[in-house]
Structure 1
């Protein structure tokens, strides 16, 4: 009997150590907004839709993430994450289980390596200069800047993220197309600095043979933000080539204004111009975010986009406005 009690005590102790060295966490967020979008085609007509939508501020999602301490400062890590439409209860991308992320990796003093369905290194820094809370529905960059069409999840990926060296860090990712005789691989790189009130970053993306064999698509983006205390100034400049069979130059600027510990107002402007067609896209946005708790927030936004041809004639106007609620768990 004593031997059995000792054995049980030892097993219980070992189980406790194992539990302390590894963990799995369930997390996610649900984001729903109610709004209206109107599209005007001057001289032709207009259409409008009012609806309950998912992901006004950020994509609704749930996931599992975990870590295991391997000793010597080395950890095994993984993440499985699926996006969903909170307004309908369907998967964000039909027929998928973990469309947003599904990877395994190692983390230590050398940095982090990951393998699987990972975010591209370009995606790390794109949101830094986005005003109106990087809102999918209301930030002026989305649907306006060509660089916003970068590939965020190339699949079949490998990635390395460095530790911070005095505020400077970098990341590189590479994705394989896995098709014989084709070279549609994707390579991304970013370098960023974060220190005090300043954050600045540069990102580059290369899509091999994206348009045709021997014709690559490229995206470059320089972005940053500076916190003045009374306001946070944000912006970015970028360029794409062959993303839409053309060369496009982009820029945006905006600012966040914290009015209290709970309420922040934000506004921004974005502009994009294609070459050699001289077709232009512009957008103006304004939004408000009110934090109810550490996990729950409400928001409202307004966005006006416009397209113009080389003669300066407006070809289309898109107006979007709405209010939303987001809860994290």
Structure 2
């Protein structure tokens, strides 16, 4: 009995030591805003119809303005020798009505586990952001603000992908990223005016390419200067209007470069370019081709007051709906943010879009980006060519 008690004590001591080197953090953001927008078409399940209906003014409470509302768990365990295990579970929530986002997923924003080494970097497996999306994060003036920045337009609707293995390595001022998805699992998106759609869950026996995706990126940061270059490709299923697989895939390719320059501790200028192309491999048709540009700046007026200005422009060489050169969409956005503390701030954001809705949502761009984040579409009403949005919000981080 004495030996058994000593063994149990030793086991408990070892267990306590292991847990002492582990850490789990609960974190989150609650962001809610009051918004006015004009010329907004009624929401349609079809999403990308050419004539979605007459536009009207809308007044609403949104979940997510500067940030998507979320809560999450982040954990690490020190395994010794510079090695540790890591995990992230992150759930998107709608604060305005208490529901889950990302197609009602429990952990729709991120869900992955991995191994990290101090020297060689980390490998993670699960639902994760694409390399292009991560690389460009520090070069988007409003930092992927949920409400008015065309983040999904820039990075693609597949900026989060299921079934993904990803690598991140930091080597001095250079960060290398790469990922591969065995089945991106992006919801169906209409093309050709709703006549067909692409999307799916992938990982189908005998169809390795179907719904697969991959990409890579490099970022550089030293002193006031930063730069990034990235590539992303998604090979989604091509389905008919009823969502039935047609036996072929599309190819969505994006490549992006960006740069930034900081002026002291108070200002930062950012600019970037994203090349995009969409092909239907079954018919050989080119569905879209565009060149997207952005430029903007952050200015910290006081430690509590920050201002942001961003201009976005897309040279839409070939649009989805008519396969013609539609009027090029552009947008200008402004944000004024006041911080009560490191955790709580209020903000005023405003945007004006031309030849598309806010965030460049439109049938001709095949974009309904905001719906996935806030439940609200900014598709223009019939006969309208511009949209204005103004939002007053409160954000709390924990």
TM-score > 0.5, shorter chain as reference: yes
Provide, for residues 78-106 of structure 1, a one-character-per-residue CA deviation record: whole Å limited to 9, x for no partner. 11111000110000134421111111100
Task: Please state how far the C-alpha of 1:75 moved relative to its aligned partner.
Answer: 0.5
The size of the alignment, in residue pairs, is 319
Gaps of 5+ in 1: none
Contact 1:32-1:325 within 8 A present in 2 as well: yes
- C-alpha distance in 1, partners of 2:2/2:162? 56
Aligned counterpart, 1:207: 234
Task: Please state how far the C-alpha of 1:315 moved relative to its aligned partner.
Answer: 5.1
Contact 2:180-2:214 within 8 A present in 1 as well: yes
Provide, for residues 295-329 of structure 1, a one-character-per-residue CA deviation record: whole Å limited to 9, x for no partner. 111111110001089xxxx9521111111111111
Pick from 269, 277, 283 the counterpart of residue 233 of structure 1.
269
- C-alpha distance in 1, partners of 2:96/2:58? 15
* Structure 1 pair 133–100 and aligned structure 2 pair: CA distance change class (3 A): closer
Provide, for residues 109-163 of structure 1, a one-character-per-residue CA deviation record: whole Å limited to 9, x for no partner. 2100001112111110233222234311133x347xx434341111011011112
Are 2:355 and 1:319 aligned?
Answer: no
The structure with the largest strand share of the pair is 1
Give runs of ≥4 in structure 1 deviating > 3 Å. Answer: 1-16, 209-215
TM-score normalized by the length of structure 1? 0.88
- C-alpha distance in 1, partners of 2:293/2:71? 33
TM-score normalized by the length of structure 2? 0.74
- C-alpha distance in 1, partners of 2:304/2:222? 24
Deviates more, 1:290-299 or 1:236-245: 236-245
Aligned counterpart, 1:271: 313
- C-alpha distance in 2, partners of 1:94/1:265? 33
Gaps of 5+ in 2: 42-52, 183-201, 239-246, 280-285, 319-323, 357-363, 365-382
For residue 19 of structure 2, give the secondary structure of its aligned residue in structure 1. Answer: helix
Contact 2:155-2:254 within 8 A present in 1 as well: no
Task: Please state how far the C-alpha of 1:35 moved relative to its aligned partner.
Answer: 1.0
Superposition pairs of residues 9-88 of structure 1, within 5 angstroms: 13-39=13-39, 46-88=55-97
- C-alpha distance in 2, partners of 1:210/1:129? 31
For residue 162 of structure 1, give the secondary structure of its aligned residue in structure 2. Answer: strand
Pick from 290, 295, 302 the counterpart of residue 343 of structure 2.
295
Are 2:203 and 1:178 aligned?
Answer: yes
Are 2:262 and 1:253 aligned?
Answer: no
- C-alpha distance in 1, partners of 2:2/2:252? 72
Are 2:236 and 1:193 aligned?
Answer: no
